[in-house]
Amino acid sequence: MKKLNLIIAILFMLGFGWSCSSGDSNSSEQPAQQAANNGLSQWELENGIGPVKAKMTLNAVDSELAASGEKIFDMKCMACHKMAERYIGPALGDVMQRRTPEFVMNMMLNPDEMVKKHPEVQKMLATYMVPMTFQNVSEEDGRALLEFIRANQK
Amino acid sequence: MEKSSITKRLGMIGLVITVAVMLAIACATQKKASLTDGSAAEEVYVPPGSYDEYYSFFSGGFSGQVTVYGLPSGRLFRIIPVFAQHAENGWGYSEETKDMLMTSHGFAPWDDAHHPELSQTDGVPDGRWLFINANNTPRVARINLSTFETEDILEIPNSGGNHASPFVTPNSEYIVASTRFSLPIPQKDVPISEYKKHFKGTITFVSVNPDDGLMDVAFQIMVPGYNYDLAHAGKGPSNGWAFFTCYNTEQASTLLEVNASQNDKDFIAAVNWKLAEQAIAEGNYRTMDVDYYHNYLEHGSRTTISENKKSVRILDPASVPGLIYYLPTPKSPHGVDVDPSGEYIVGGGKLASVIPVHSFSKMMTAIENKEFEGEVDGIPILKYQSVIAGEVQNAGLGPLHTEFDGKGNAYTSAFISSEVVKWKLGTWEVVDRIQTYYSIGHLMIPGGDSQKPWGKYLVAMNKITKDRYLPTGPELCHSAQLIDISGDKMRLLLDFPTMGEPHYAQGIPASILQPKTTKIFPIEDNTHPFVAKSEREAGVTRDGRDVHVKMTTIRTHFAPDNIEGVKVGDRVYFHITNLEQDWDVPHGFAVQGMNTAELLVMPGETRTLIWEAKKVGVYPFYCTDFCSALHQEMSGYIRVSPRNSSITLSHNAQR
């Protein structure tokens, strides 16, 4: 019984130490909210973390660009993604309603960091159990993929 | 009562702890005093997540492979398969790699790898390639140091026991090869007792294409039938020359340990390779019909191309005056090592009581003045006194190899007296010595045979291990020892076990190699004839009794993963393309009952194994390399039907 008390006391101290070391917030956000956001800014929460750091200007779908995106999609994406249904990863036929184009781009270009840091992506990992993987997609390729995805929204 | 018992117990515990600590200190002090000093542990400790300062490449000896260790930690990073089949990743088993082991004697799944040698630019290791020789079925191999993969193996014709190999010239113009065991050249049926009459040696220069590294036999020099043992190229003032030790100038063909140890001096052959180039350019050579293989990687398909070659250019020393001079060297010399300045040529006379050091400038003067004491087959023998710069006295018993620290010191391994002897170039005085455990063969300083040694560490490669580690039955690993040579006194820092027999090693700062590493093979560049660049391209086709399965892998499934319509007697080619484009995500492939090794498929590449459909049934295949949380789910089935079945070939890859 005494031993148990001691263990509880040690655990308590460890817990206290932990909370001390992580409690160095200097932002005005509530700590709980900040923890949920993993320290990401509002822009990053909406648009993801990665090379795309500003809002993109999108025009009407460029069918030629979408066609080149389809080839890359077949090689690097279709093993895990379908448009109409969940497969290894989520269906992409409605992704433009769920995510910003910048988010989609950053997910393709920087999946490792997105999986590690972004709360939305961490939720997806818990659902799908397989992390989105980097497929050596360049920004140019990513843009073509985005166009293909835009062209195939339901 | 209770209190006093606790006190007693505490007292007892205290006493035990005190005694234990004292014992531990006494023990540690004793060890430190005898072998290492206090800071050795800190000096070799590389904290978790940190990197070693040097990469080192050890020959695997009779394992046929190369091992990659970090220094100073002595941690093993990788085994690079070279001359032996390697079931771990399918090297020499898969359809893409098995031809790498083709020779004029057929498929050779084993060899004895001896001397790793880094490519050089301006006399300094440049981190592009590592070369290594096969002693048994004479070959040289080239490893690409961005992929740590063997991509070129060249057989050496007219050779037996390719030992003095593959030492490199200062700009990797050539690597060398030679006959440790002379032979009838061309081969013929002769009595062994007529060795002197029929047996010849060759010294081979292998060119290295500066762009892609591809090797080719540039020319061979026909030399007297001695045993050519080791080599090093000249550098600086001696650039353009290469030096080869030879023993058995007695030309014995039996009981060499006695019969080849008769002469007081054997030779170091000094070969003027620039003159050889000139003779080739002038057409002063003969061609000879031979039979040898050149196997190399085609990069797009990552598949071996195997070429059978039939001709070689031969130079005869008698027809090219000045091509070779013999430097008399005591006694049955083993190593020949050229100091960083290029002036001194050190012979490791393994039966000699001194280390002889020849002078390149004295050699050139002696050649000019024709200070010869004889001639063999048109090769002048220079006078020993005309070429010798000095002799290192009291240099240990059985001196074998010498490397340099770039600060005017030389370090020689002495096999019989089990020590490294440090001596000064120019004064030839021994300044320090350190015991090794036990029976050192080669030693290595990173860059220590180049023009710019990184003279911080020395690695002793020991032939005998005995009691250095926990015993493992009759067969023990070989042992390496790391020695700090940064100060005046050598200091033993670390023992670490090695694989096979590490005859030699080469080291290079990690900062040179680390930025060059290849992480993936871009799938776009894959030109394998059976690649499937997407699951849409995956599928199954029949060509008579051959069934070709084009299958893809990505975390965490195969496509297709159900195959039907295969019949007993079919040969199934599994062509596995790994669609991953992420670093460190290989997938493995194995199918039940296969008579070959697994495939380990790197991101973006295609590998093939052949599986014979022998018996009716349904057989599982699976990924052998843990790849994701759902790795256990990464599997599939192939169904084998009777020969007369009407089931058509089908698969379930998505369209």
pLDDT tens column, B166-182: 999 999 999 999 999 99
- Out of 3.40.50.300, 1.10.760.10, 1.10.10.10, 3.10.580.10, the CATH code matching A40-151 is 1.10.760.10
B134: left (phi over 0), alpha (psi -120 to 50) or beta: beta
Please state the rounded mean pLDDT for residues B93-120.
98
Determine the residue among B518, B519, B534 to mutate to test chain A binding: the one whose Cβ has the most chain A Cβ atoms within 10 Å.
Answer: B534
Among the partner-chain residues B522, B524, B554, the one whose CB lies closest to the CB of A80 is B554
Task: Tell whether A76 lies on the interface with B, counting CB pairs under 8 A.
Answer: yes
Single out the residue of B76, B75, B79, B77 nearest to residue B60, CA to CA.
B79
Phi, psi of B537 (to 5 degrees): -90, -5
Q: Give this prediction's pTM.
A: 0.90
Please state the rounded mean pLDDT for residues B250-259.
93
Per-residue pLDDT at B32 exceeds 80: no
Query: At a CB cut-off of 8 Å and minimum separation 6, what does B329 contact?
Result: B245, B265, B266, B267, B268, B347, B349, B356, B358, B384
Q: How confident is the model at residue B628 (pLDDT cuts 50, 70, 90)?
A: confident
Residue of A nearest to B522 (CA): A136
Task: Tell whether B581 lies on the interface with A, counting CB pairs under 8 A.
Answer: yes
Q: How far apart are CA B90 and CA B417, in angstroms?
A: 42
Q: What single letter denotes the amino acid at residue A134?
A: F
Q: Do A80 and B559 touch (CB under 8 A)?
A: no
Domains in chain B and their CATH numbers? 54-516 (2.130.10.10), 523-651 (2.60.40.420)
Q: What is the pLDDT of residues B471-528, one digit of tens each?
A: 999 999 999 999 999 999 999 999 999 999 999 999 999 999 999 999 999 999 999 9
CB contacts of A89 in chain B (<8 Å) are: none
Fill in the DSSP letter of residue B528: -
Domain residue limits, chain A = 40-151
Determine the residue among B533, B554, B631 to mutate to test chain A binding: the one whose Cβ has the most chain A Cβ atoms within 10 Å.
Answer: B554
ipTM of the complex: 0.79
- The pairing of beta strand B606-612 with beta strand B539-543: unpaired
CB contact at 8 A, B221 and B324: yes
Residues 595-654 of B with CB under 8 A from A: 628-630, 654
| pLDDT score at A29 | 47
Report which of residues A43 and A5 the model is more confident about.
Answer: A43
Beta carbons within 10 angstroms of residue B133's beta carbon: 32
Dihedral in degrees, nearest 10, Cα atoms B76, B81, B84, B87: 90
Beta carbons within 10 angstroms of residue B47's beta carbon: 7
Q: Do A78 and B579 touch (CB under 8 A)?
A: no
Q: What single letter denotes the amino acid at residue B428?
A: W
| pLDDT score at B468 | 94
Single out the residue of B401, B509, B511, B406 nearest to residue B455, CA to CA.
B406
